[in-house]
């Protein structure tokens, strides 16, 4: 039994005089409750000031509310109430178990109402119903105006913690107000048995003030110095013990006996202000000296720790208070009037809380204004739009799976009903994530050191982001598996992936939701053959499939005897599947703690539920901004992501482009664009900045000053990706609804695939790929696609590119679709090309590597707005690789995909050219 348990045995409950969001989120508060160290929580304006204004714990939650036009006070109450509710929920079991004697959390009324009886009554009722927890206590100050408010509030059936009590006279009034409130209830035939109240008697501040006077006497009045010296540090405890005696007396009187028979509880004294202020005194003095039955002591963290370490628990309170009366008498003899002291303390106490409240409002106001600045030109329209989402109950309808939010088409509606499972993925995945972790551990134990994921789009992008953000961690005492991703049919890239995957030590993850994706099938054929050749009968133990139940891939994996088959959630579409096995198993292989990742996602989910106001929902407000920005002409969502989050944009790109890019509408994600000076950007931009260390703060400021909206999302560590996945999925669903788009299908992707299939069939028949007639050619390369004015006069590929760029119109974007190996060399030169294009045309630029982008931005290219120039680049392959059993090579597959892509764009009258590099390199285009 520890010291605090002993204290409790003597009848005193220790409450925690502290609240802070991080304590709620990191499990510290839950732990303190579980260990039986604290039995309640008190908060006050100073505590909230410290919690909110002196930390960044609340900033992320504050932003959407600020963007939605809420003022500082609204924001404060939302944040405070959330904390109070969360704490109350943690204490709920204790509250029930202790038959409602402990487990309370206190929230104080606005201290600026301390002298306003009616204002306090109304505010108490407002807070009580907003928090809506039976184990809440509303704190009301024991001012003259507070006393009648306490009576009324008790009479209304609300638990009250009466705060700021210093004097015995006031304390008697407090007891009377409590008893009167209970009597009022009885008179109305209402029950009194579940009403709880405590009277917070402030302790240490009495010593601070009295000791100051005593010290003046010691200094200036020689004759009284001895007595004054003997009284130092005595007043506060004496005053509190006298209060306890009063409590014993009052609650033994007939008046209370009547109430007790009806089930009423006593109003326990609660010792507040009990941390030691004078370092010369024992640091647990205001706990040790005030122990007795039916009391509470609320202590700040340092006092809790001190008592746990060396506090002595003995009863020190009782009816015999002669010594205490003597202390007060002696103080009076020295001219120190306790009436005066306690009066001053009450006035100062009220002021200190009011000041803290005002300072807190100011701190929130500053952060609110800074957040609003981020919206730039969108700031005025946003509050109305968020209100509209609230009125139209968008979040409720999303959770109710109401497809009419997105489309009237019955087929579309039927599909949407099968595609909203991601809303619950953070919780649903909790059931299975230990299996993924165990499987990862078994792979590691069996000596597998590498993993190669074979997948496209929704099945590969989240794993890639996780790999690049987290790096390779640990599984137990081993290095986790070094995961690589193959999502390209470019033969060079296939070979590079193969060279980085030593077969004896590699786990292959065949990842396809549908189980029919042609690239993935080709990768499997290739690596299965390689594994068979080298590993023979042991090959299957090196393969895991992730696929939805019942797919051909599942069947194949079963037939071949794969090491494991992980089932996807058929209610979740590919691009929304990051928090299902498609993202989570690769994460486990990397040694990522799935519990923590899912916890962050769950926290975001909890903020996204319909019960919360729209303005508090991070995904809803973000989605509203994205949607409204498009309607305002800012459809180029430009992603700035600081290390280590640079790769996050590639996942976002797919989610946003494939969800919104259809029916001639869409948001155009612009990822990893080379930076240029702020004035080069058009008014079609909305920037989002994923901030980790503030490396690009200056850049963000310059953009903001140039009039662009720049939303900032602070990420504290890689695990925040869990939350971001969820936030952006919700935002995308909301933005799609605002744009009137079905965000869950990809109607234009199939066309590309069909055209590719036809090309391959023809190739199999004729051994030739039909590339059509070039519109221009020389020994450097050939040009296909739309007719360009003046093309015949061009003498170099560079000139062809220049001619093509002349087609650019204001607010177009230029998409470079490169069917090239994705490695640092090509990336560098293509980024250079982007830079030149951006400076020359002022248009946003995007870069996609084929065929990877076909599973990402490909839908937007075909289905989105006709505001793009597509520059497709293909090349002659140096070293091709056969796909076993398919009668084609990866090189042919890649080229067929490019041709299918080109045809699909041309069929939609898009402005596209294909530059096929024969002798030339990408450098020659710049
Ligand atoms: O809730 C209560 C009392 O119910 C407490 O939070 C109370 O306000 C605090 O103990 C005091 O404000 C702390 O005062 P001090 O230690 O700063 O003098
Ligand atoms: O985004 C999804 C990709 O198109 C791949 O689909 P899949 O998981 O069915 O292979």
Measured from the Cα of 272, ligand 1's closest atom is 10
Cα 460 to middle of ligand 2, angstroms: 8
Cα 511 to middle of ligand 2, angstroms: 8
Cα 287 to middle of ligand 1, angstroms: 14
Catalytic residue among 139, 209, 234, 250: 139
Question: Residue 139 catalytic?
Answer: yes
Residue 424 scores a pLDDT above 90: yes
Ligand that comes closest to the CA of residue 522: 2
Cα 249 to middle of ligand 1, angstroms: 25
Residue to mutate, 106, 239, 267, 272, ligand 1, most ligand atoms under 8 Å from C-beta:
272
Residue 475 scores a pLDDT above 90: yes
* The CATH number of the domain covering residues in 421-602: 3.40.50.10490
Measured from the Cα of 514, ligand 2's closest atom is 9
Treating both helix axes as pointing N-terminal to C-terminal, what angle do 618-631 and 59-67 enclose, rounded to 10 degrees? 40
Select 3-354's CATH number: 1.10.510.10, 3.40.720.10, 3.40.1110.10, 3.20.20.70: 3.20.20.70
Q: Does the C-beta of 297 come closer than 6 Å to ligand 1?
A: no
What is the token pair recorded at 94?
């204790």
Q: What is the biggest distance separating any 2 CA atoms in the chain, rounded to whole angstroms?
A: 119
Same fold, 3-354 and 752-925: no
Q: Give yes or no for a contact between 198 and 269, defined as CB atoms under 8 angstroms apart.
A: yes
Residue whose Cα lies nearest atom 1 of ligand 1: it is 42
Question: Per-residue pLDDT averaged across 560-569, rounded?
Answer: 98
Residue 82 scores a pLDDT above 90: yes
Check: pTM over 0.90? Answer yes or no: yes
pLDDT reported for residue 364: 97
pLDDT reported for residue 480: 98
Ligand that comes closest to the CA of residue 459: 2
pLDDT reported for residue 405: 98
CA–CA separation, 788 vs 790, rounded Å?
Answer: 6
Residue to mutate, 455, 485, 523, 654, ligand 2, most ligand atoms under 8 Å from C-beta:
455
Which among 687, 639, 618, 712 has a CA at the least distance from the CA of 465?
639
The CA dihedral of 848, 852, 855, 856, to the nearest 10 degrees, is -30
The 10s digit of each residue's pLDDT in 849-897 is 999 999 999 999 999 999 999 999 999 999 999 999 999 999 999 999 9
Residue 839 scores a pLDDT above 90: yes
Q: Does the C-beta of 197 come closer than 6 Å to ligand 1?
A: no
- Per-position DSSP letters for 462-494, written without gaps between them: HHHHHHHHH-S-EETTEE--EEEEE----HHHH
- Per-position DSSP letters for 233-260, written without gaps between them: TTHHHHHHHHHHHHHHHHTTSHHHHHHH
Residue 68 scores a pLDDT above 90: yes
Which residues touch 7 (CB under 8 Å, ≥6 apart)?
Answer: 14, 287, 291, 307, 311, 313
Residue 553 scores a pLDDT above 90: yes
pLDDT reported for residue 466: 98
The 10s digit of each residue's pLDDT in 570-622 is 999 999 999 999 999 999 999 999 999 999 999 999 999 999 999 999 999 99
Q: Mean of the per-residue pLDDT values for the chain? A: 97
Q: What is the percent of the chain with per-residue pLDDT over 90, rounded to a whole number?
A: 99
Residue 1 scores a pLDDT above 90: no
Residue whose Cα lies nearest atom 11 of ligand 1: it is 273
CATH topology of domain 752-925: Rossmann fold (3.40.50)
pLDDT reported for residue 316: 97
The 10s digit of each residue's pLDDT in 108-137 is 999 999 999 999 999 999 999 999 999 999
Q: Give yes or no for a contact between 395 and 614, defined as CB atoms under 8 angstroms apart.
A: yes
Question: Per-residue pLDDT averaged across 332-342, rounded?
Answer: 97
Res. 215 pLDDT band, cuts 50 70 90: very high
pLDDT reported for residue 602: 97
Residue 693 scores a pLDDT above 90: yes
Res. 846 pLDDT band, cuts 50 70 90: very high
Cα 95 to middle of ligand 2, angstroms: 50
Measured from the Cα of 855, ligand 2's closest atom is 4
The 10s digit of each residue's pLDDT in 703-727 is 999 999 999 999 999 999 999 999 9
Residue whose Cα lies nearest atom 10 of ligand 2: it is 512
Q: Give yes or no for a contact between 286 and 237, defined as CB atoms under 8 angstroms apart.
A: yes
Question: Per-residue pLDDT averaged across 401-405, rounded?
Answer: 98
Q: Does the C-beta of 108 come closer than 6 Å to ligand 1?
A: no
Q: What are phi and psi of 524, to 5 degrees?
A: -60, -50
Q: Where are the domains of the chain?
A: 3-354, 381-418+607-739, 421-602, 752-925
Domain 381-418+607-739 architecture: 3-Layer(aba) Sandwich (3.40)
Residue whose Cα lies nearest atom 16 of ligand 1: it is 273
Res. 310 pLDDT band, cuts 50 70 90: very high
């Amino acid at each position: 039994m520890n010291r605090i348990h002993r204290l409790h045995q003597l009848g005193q409950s220790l409450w925690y005089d502290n609240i802070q969001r991080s304590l709620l989120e990191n499990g510290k508060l839950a732990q303190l409750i579980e260990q039986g160290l604290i039995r309640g929580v008190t908060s006050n304006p100073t505590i909230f000031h410290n919690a909110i204004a002196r930390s960044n714990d609340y900033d992320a939650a504050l932003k959407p509310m600020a963007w939605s036009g809420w003022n500082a006070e609204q924001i404060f109450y939302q944040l405070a109430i959330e904390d109070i509710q969360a704490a109350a929920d943690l204490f709920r079991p204790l509250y029930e178990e202790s038959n409602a004697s402990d487990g309370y959390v206190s929230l104080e009324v606005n201290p600026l109402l301390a002298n306003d009886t009616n204002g306090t009554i109304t505010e108490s009722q407002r807070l009580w119903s907003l928090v809506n927890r039976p184990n809440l206590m509303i704190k009301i100050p024991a001012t003259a105006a507070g006393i009648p408010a306490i009576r009324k509030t008790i009479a209304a059936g609300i638990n009250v913690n009466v705060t700021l009590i210093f004097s015995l006279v006031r304390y008697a009034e407090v007891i009377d107000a409590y008893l009167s409130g209970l009597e009022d209830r009885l008179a109305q035939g209402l029950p009194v048995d579940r009403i709880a109240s405590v009277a917070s008697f402030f302790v240490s501040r009495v010593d601070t003030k009295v000791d100051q006077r005593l010290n003046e006497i010691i200094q200036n009045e020689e004759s009284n110095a001895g007595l004054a010296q003997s009284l130092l540090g005595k007043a506060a405890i004496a005053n509190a013990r006298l209060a306890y005696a009063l409590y014993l007396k009052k609650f033994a009187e007939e008046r209370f006996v009547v109430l007790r028979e009806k089930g009423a509880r006593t109003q326990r004294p609660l010792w507040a202000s009990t941390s030691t202020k004078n370092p010369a005194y024992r640091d647990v003095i205001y706990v040790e000296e005030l122990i007795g039955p039916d009391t509470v002591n609320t202590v700040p963290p340092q006092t809790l720790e001190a008592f746990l370490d060396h506090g002595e628990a003995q009863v020190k309170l009782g009816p015999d208070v002669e010594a205490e009366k003597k202390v007060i008498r002696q103080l009076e003899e020295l001219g120190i009037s306790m009436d005066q002291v306690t009066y001053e303390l009450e006035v100062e106490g009220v002021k200190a809380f009011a000041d803290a409240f005002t300072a807190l409002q100011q701190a929130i106001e500053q952060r609110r204004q800074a957040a609003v600045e981020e919206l730039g030109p969108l700031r005025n329209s946003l509050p109305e739009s968020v209100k509209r989402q609230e009125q139209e109950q968008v979040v409720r309808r999303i959770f109710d799976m109401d497809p009419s939010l997105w489309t009237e088409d019955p087929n579309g509606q039927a599909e949407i009903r099968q595609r909203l499972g991601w809303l619950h993925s953070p919780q649903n995945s909790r059931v299975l994530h230990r299996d993924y972790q165990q499987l990862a551990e078994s792979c590691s134990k069996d000596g597998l050191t590498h993993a190669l994921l074979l997948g496209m789009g929704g099945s590969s992008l989240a794993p890639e982001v996780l790999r690049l953000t987290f790096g390779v961690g640990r599984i137990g005492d081993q290095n986790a598996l070094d995961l690589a991703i193959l999502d390209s049919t470019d033969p060079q890239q296939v070979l590079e992936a193969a060279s980085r995957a030593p077969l004896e030590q590699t786990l292959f993850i065949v990842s396809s939701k549908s189980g029919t994706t042609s690239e993935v099938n080709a990768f499997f054929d290739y690596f299965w053959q390689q594994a068979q050749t080298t590993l023979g009968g042991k090959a299957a133990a090196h393969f895991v499939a992730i696929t939805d139940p019942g797919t051909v891939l599942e069947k194949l994996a079963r037939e071949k005897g794969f090491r494991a088959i992980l089932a996807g959630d058929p209610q979740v579409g590919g691009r929304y599947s990051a928090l299902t096995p498609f993202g989570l198993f690769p994460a486990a292989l990397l040694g990522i703690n799935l519990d923590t990742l899912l916890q962050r996602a769950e926290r975001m989910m909890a903020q996204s539920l319909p019960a919360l106001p729209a303005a508090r929902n991070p995904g809803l407000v973000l989605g509203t901004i994205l949607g409204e920005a498009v309607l305002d002409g800012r459809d180029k969502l430009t992603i700035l992501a600081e290390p280590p989050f640079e790769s996050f944009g590639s996942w976002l790109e797919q989610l946003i482009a494939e969800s919104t890019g259809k029916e001639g509408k869409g948001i155009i994600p612009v990822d990893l664009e080379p930076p240029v000076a702020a004035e080069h950007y058009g008014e079609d931009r909305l920037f989002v900045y994923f901030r980790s260390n503030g490396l690009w703060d200056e850049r963000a400021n310059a953009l903001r000053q140039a009039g662009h909206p720049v939303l900032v999302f602070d990420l504290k560590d890689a695990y925040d990706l869990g939350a971001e996945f969820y936030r952006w999925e919700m935002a995308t669903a909301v933005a799609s609804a605002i744009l009137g788009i079905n965000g869950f299908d990809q109607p234009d992707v199939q066309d590309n695939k069909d055209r590719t299939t036809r090309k391959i069939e023809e190739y199999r028949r004729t051994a030739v790929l039909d590339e059509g007639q070039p519109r221009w050619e020389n020994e450097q390369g050939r040009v296909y696609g739309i007719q360009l004015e003046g093309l015949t006069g061009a003498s170099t590929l560079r000139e062809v590119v220049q001619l093509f760029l002349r087609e650019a119109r204001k607010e177009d974007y230029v998409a470079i679709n490169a069917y090239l190996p994705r490695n640092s060399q090509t990336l560098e030169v293509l980024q250079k090309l982007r830079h030149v294009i951006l400076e020359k045309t002022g248009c946003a630029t995007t870069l996609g590597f084929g065929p990877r982008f076909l599973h990402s931005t490909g839908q937007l290219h075909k289905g989105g707005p006709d505001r793009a120039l597509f520059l497709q680049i293909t090349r002659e392959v140096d070293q091709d690789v056969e796909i076993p059993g398919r009668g084609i090579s990866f090189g042919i597959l890649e080229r067929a995909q490019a041709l299918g892509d080109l045809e699909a764009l041309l069929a939609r009258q898009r402005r596209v050219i294909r530059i096929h590099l024969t002798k030339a390199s990408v450098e020659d285009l710049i």
